[in-house]
Structure 1
């Protein structure tokens, strides 16, 4: 009789990406791109640092890593959290394009990038809350 080997769960997207260090680097590149985007930058708060931390924690949890976002910030409640921001379909698509380019810039496997982006696209488009283009009221 042979001992059964424990069954290894399939690796999560987070593990396949390379873990927290890889994700933090990707999110930094993403926010650098947002900083340089004249169309999207006005949608974001003046200080991007807290957003970087939240984005990294959210993506880690969403991709199967530790539930850091929930532990630090509570349940994601994405539509509620994004309600104060003016998000158009064009803006959501630009956001997605910057994120995809950030994955690519860090050499993420093409298949993994596609898998992540295919899953994120409907989520990002659910954040659309207007057809108008306005700047943030506190900008």
Structure 2
């Protein structure tokens, strides 16, 4: 039995909102420093972090914080204005892997989370052009 099966949802297996918050707080400094990802984000990253916290809580099976506030996530449509390349999707997942480790998520659960996030990460790809 995997850790998620024991708890029912990824959100519960992670330990709820507190851990999701730690993941987001470990993730965005990495994103801002990353040469492929940083330029896509605003200087004031706090609103983005809050939306990510709400979205991930919901995406992992917790409360529907994002939808309650903003409606249906429509994440692919929300990412269309940004040039999301396969390399950027990989970089995003790499930053998330490091953030999960920093947040103290055990290895088995990290793999489950990254697998769950890989689908959307690559679904958001909207160009093959490498950023210059």
User: Residues of 1 paired with 2:101 and 2:114: CA distance?
Assistant: 11
User: Residues of 2 paired with 1:133 and 1:14: CA distance?
Assistant: 34
* Equivalent position of 2:115 in the other structure: 118
RMSD of the TM alignment (CA)?
1.5
In the alignment, is residue 70 of structure 1 matched against residue 88 of structure 2? no
Greater alpha carbon shift after TM alignment, 103-112 vs 62-71: 103-112
Q: How many residues align?
A: 127
Report SS of the residue matched to 1:75. coil
User: Residues of 2 paired with 1:83 and 1:52: CA distance?
Assistant: 19
- Uncovered stretches (5+) of structure 2, i.e. residues with no partner: 1-5
Offset at residue 131 of structure 1 (A) = 1.5
* Equivalent position of 1:17 in the other structure: 14
TM-score scaled to structure 1, two decimals? 0.85
User: Residues of 2 paired with 1:62 and 1:52: CA distance?
Assistant: 15
User: Residues of 1 paired with 2:104 and 2:80: CA distance?
Assistant: 33
| Structure with greater proportional helix content | 2
* Equivalent position of 1:3 in the other structure: none
User: Residues of 2 paired with 1:92 and 1:11: CA distance?
Assistant: 28
Q: State which of 80, 99, 103 in structure 2 corresponds to 1:83.
A: 80
User: Residues of 2 paired with 1:119 and 1:98: CA distance?
Assistant: 15
TM-score scaled to structure 2, two decimals? 0.90
In the TM superposition, structure 1's runs of 4+ consecutive aligned residues that sit over 4 Å from their partners are none
- Uncovered stretches (5+) of structure 1, i.e. residues with no partner: 1-8
In the alignment, is residue 60 of structure 1 matched against residue 48 of structure 2? no
1:86-123 deviation digits (Å, cap 9, x = unpaired): 11000000000101110011210111110111111011
1:29-81 deviation digits (Å, cap 9, x = unpaired): 10011111122101122321111011111110011100000001110101110
